[in-house]
Amino acid sequence: MMETKNSAKKRMMFIQKEDYNFLTYNILFILKYFNATSEESKFKDFRKIAYMVHFISFNYDFKLYEKNELILIYSKAQLKKQLISHLLVILKNKGYIGVSVNMRHQSFDLWLKEENIPEAFFDENLFQNEVTNIKNLKKIISHLKIITVKKLVDVIFTSRNITTWEI
């Protein structure tokens, strides 16, 4: 009964895919559970988040996906990058995240400003599946917080014979 209420509550909170609320939760949970809570411990290259969202929301183990599913995930991630970049401006202006320019990778690095987010926001009971998937994804892709987006794409997609294009 409790799981049904939680599922219904999450569905009411946002419609998945390109919804800003859905992406906001993913970004903030990623930053929290990767301990990216200061500029010194930042999450390098926000573009990785676009690829991670699907695996965090559904099944973290990318090795279990069929080739055609991975192609679709990769393609959708390309579209999510622009949405996420717009969302980062909003989150930064609201004081929820810090953003620094990463000149080397021509991207942005992120960190969570926990002091500006209500404690109840990170309700692990409501988002238990996502939290578990984040923790498991961290285990199977080492140094995920600091690796390049190219390395992430190579690990998940290129190594599975998925054709990728310039990142």
pLDDT at 120: 87
Give the global pTM.
Answer: 0.86
Place of tokens 């679709």: 72
pLDDT at 13: 53
For residue 21, the tally of other CB atoms under 10 A from its CB is: 12
pLDDT tens digits, residue range 117-139? 998 888 888 889 999 999 999 99
- Rounded to the nearest integer, the mean pLDDT of the chain is 89
For residue 27, the tally of other CB atoms under 10 A from its CB is: 23
3-state secondary structure of 114: helix
Q: How far is CA 61 from CA 82, 95, 121, 164, in A?
A: 25, 33, 26, 19
Of 40-44, 119-123, 156-160, the one with minimum mean pLDDT is 119-123
The residue ranking higher by pLDDT, 12 or 112, is 112
3-state secondary structure of 145: coil
Report whether 138 contacts 131 (CB < 8 A): no
User: Token pair of 124, please?
Assistant: 């692990």
pLDDT grade, residue 2 (50/70/90)? Answer: very low
Q: How far is CA 148 from CA 12, 109, 114, 152, 153, in A?
A: 35, 11, 25, 6, 9
At residue 68, what is the residue type? Answer: N
Dist CA 59 CA 79 (whole Å): 20
pLDDT at 1: 40
- What percent of the chain is helix, strand and coil (3-state, nearest 5)? 60, 10, 30
Q: How far apart are the first and last CA of the chain?
A: 44
Q: Taking 90 as the threshold, does the pLDDT of residue 154 lie above it?
A: yes
Residue 49's Cβ-count burial label (10 Å; 0-12, 13-18, 19+) is: buried
